[in-house]
Chain A
Amino acid sequence: MHPAPSIITFTVLSGLGFGLMVWLGLGAVDVEGWIAATFCLMALGLAGGGLLSSLFHLGHPERAPKALTQWRSSWLSREGILAIVTMLLFTLFSLIWVFGGVRSGPLGALAALAALATVFSTAMIYTQMKTVPRWHSPLTPVVFLLASLSGGALLAGMTASFWIILSLGVVLILDSVQGEGRFSRANGNIATATGLGKFGRLRQLAPPHTGQNYLLKEMVYVIGRKHAHKINIIGMTLAIPVPLFLIGVFHNGHTTFGLAVVSHITGMVLLRWLFFARAEHVVGIYYGKH
């Protein structure tokens, strides 16, 4: 699948923002006044910035409000609505916290729940794709949720982020190992795609067009697969062991968490790029890719 920069930016940034909202909403950061305002603005800025970035990959961004209408069937629509509801709830929570000096427990919990639901919806957009077997796994939402909670916990400067990042690492490794075989386990091949399996061994003789097309560019993206393994290891290292080491050794401090955040986010961007780049769509079968 084509790793669109706008979508990578969106999923990583908004994941961080909503993750931070969860911890702030649950009262994990005991601050007030301007420091509270800074945390709240960071969460809203990351989530909002991510959402804005997602608009750049649309053919018609000016029609985006129409995407809020089909929540009954569409995960993308649900994500849009939940994102807006979360931002509103969290803004209200922030205003009461910063200006009223009161952290409303129920409102914060509600905002945290809405933030988690938003990240879950984002993950379900990919998880629901039966056409991309690598994504079509219960592990996909787990990865997205833990990634969001890890990044949020790091931004919140929580020492407990150690355990959340550790669990993200375990799930990432599990998903990486298990994900390799998902395409072949999905049972689709050139025989089922053409229905001609009973006639013998099949191969593509000639493609339908000599040049590129939208399908090949969007869904049969192969650039970078050669280095997938290396990128996976680099991304994992930056996202998991480096922050674990920093927090494990130095426990706290702005420098520790600052470095951990930078390393973690860089790693997650690489891993999110890989999430798209190495996911294979079944339409590639028609183009002789399997």
Chain B
Amino acid sequence: MTSLPQSTEKSLGLVIDLDTCVGCHACVTACKEWNTNGYGAPLSDQDPYGADPVGTFLNRVHSYEYVPEDGSAPGVVHFPKSCLHCADAPCVTVCPTGASLKREEDGIVLVNEDDCIGCGLCAWACPYGARELDASAGVMKKCTLCVDRIYNVNLPEEDRQPACVRTCPAGARHFGDLSDPESDVSKLVTARGGFDLMPEQETRPVNKYLPPRTREETDILAPLLDPVPEAQGGFLGWLDRTLSKI
């Protein structure tokens, strides 16, 4: 059913730490690997070894640069983006067949591939570019939050989390229930000031992003490494004055 549930028992989702992400794209490949072997249609590639390779991915890492207004050094932010499992998911309500759905029990947004006609309307409705129509299978693919891992009792317990989270070498990705204020992910969001992407679209995403930390917050040596002030006394001051005179 493509009507959205009034509320969900849980809101499973990801918290992505833009401070820690190193932009290695391991989550991208781990996602592709798991989801091309797991349930549903594989994530196909067209012309994979040719001049113009194109393929379906459920997770992609952008890189942005910010230039502070005060003239201090620019920063680089690696920015992984996948389905945000929105509470008000516009991709679900536009679906004409009922293939696109949001689960009442855990809030995961899924596509029932047997019902998908491949009209592409849900991809248009998503502001984040989280859905890609697979060119080979003709059905819409999207992040399932690795629904076939997180409840899979055949896997060791530490593997029961999304492939992207499990593989991240920097620990920049966290998985949990964001509707529970006592969960680790919710505490992390509160402590670090997690935010929504494109709030003006009013999709109420479940996934949250944590901002990069400033140098003062992370580097205990930062105060000691400040440049030498101009009017310095003592030996350094004398050295500065003497050298300036030569």
Contact = CB atoms under 8 A, between A and B. Distances in A.
Interface stretch (A129-137, A149-157, A228-236, A237-245): A129-137
A67 B201 contact: no
A76 B79 contact: no
Given A195-B195, A212-B52, A286-B62, A61 B93 contact: no
Nearest to A63: B117
Given A63-B117, A215-B129, A200 B69 contact: yes
Contacts of A212: 52, 54
Interface stretch (A87-95, A112-120, A185-193): A185-193
Contacts of B81: 208, 286
B interface majority secondary structure:
loop
Contact of B123 (A66, A67, A193, A215): A215
B133 A60 contact: no
Interface of B: 1-3, 18, 28, 52-57, 60-69, 74-77, 79, 81, 90, 92-99, 115-121, 123-129, 132-135, 137-140, 195-202, 209, 211-212
A76 B96 contact: yes
B166 to A, nearest CB: 21
Nearest to B18: A196
A195 B197 contact: yes
A200 B200 contact: no
A212 B46 CA distance: 11
Given A59-B118, A286-B81, A187 B129 contact: no
Contacts of A214: 54, 56, 123, 132-133, 135
A240 B54 CA distance: 42
A238 B124 CA distance: 30
Contacts of A215: 123, 129, 132
Interface in A188-223: 188, 190, 192-196, 198-209, 211-215, 218-219
A286 B69 CA distance: 21
Given A70-B2, A199-B75, A214-B123, A187 B115 contact: no
A1 B124 contact: yes
Given A59-B116, A202-B66, A205-B63, A282 B93 contact: no
Scoring B18, B94, B119 by chain A CB atoms within 10 A of each residue's CB, the highest score goes to B119
A57 interface: yes
Given A66-B98, A214-B132, A219-B129, A193 B198 contact: yes
